[in-house]
Amino acid sequence: MPIRAAIAVSTAVSAAAAALLLTAPQSQAAAGHERAAHCAERALTVRAKAATGHPTVLRVSVTNRTARACVVDRVPTVTFGGLDGAALPVPEGGTGSYRLAAGGTAYAAVRTIGDPRDPEARRADSVTVAASAAHWGRSFGAGRLGTGRQVLVWEPVTTWWQPTARAADRIIGLD
């Protein structure tokens, strides 16, 4: 008997949901967004450069060069040449995706080290940035980044992708 009650309730709930969808205006009934495909790495342009006056902060961007929207990971994957690990997301919980519009650009900021005088600082010759963990990414030498001969690294963090560079800067503590 309890099984029939459960079936009757779930049938009633399903019928009510269907009725709501049928009576909702067209714009609300189709409120589900089109699912964008994952961005192919070859369709993206990744850039990175040290923030002016802040060699321990990198500004990173990814641009979708295609005519269709696609998705990348919510947080860029940032690794440091020859060192283990990647920059951790700020705020935590970086799993998920970020939708890049056709021709759209997203921005992130990376703090490589909190205090450049930290005696535990590591040094890397390059930084590799990938829009998604499944991508190889693009490597940038320290000189090209504008960080000097090497990139100082200790407990690096990265923001989630943001719609503007200013939004990413604010999260990392730059104004």
CB neighbourhood size of 86 (10 A): 17
Q: What is the pLDDT of residues 125-158, one digit of tens each?
A: 999 999 999 999 999 999 999 999 999 999 999 9
Find the length of the chain.
175
pTM of the model: 0.79
pLDDT of residue 24: 38
pLDDT of residue 175: 75
3-state secondary structure of 95: coil
pLDDT of residue 7: 35
173: left (phi over 0), alpha (psi -120 to 50) or beta: left
What is the rounded average pLDDT for all residues in the chain?
Answer: 85
Residue 117 has pLDDT above 60, yes or no: yes
For the segment 111-122, the average pLDDT, to the nearest whole number, is: 94
Q: What is the pLDDT of residues 70-84, one digit of tens each?
A: 999 999 999 999 999
Question: At 3, which amino acid appears?
Answer: I
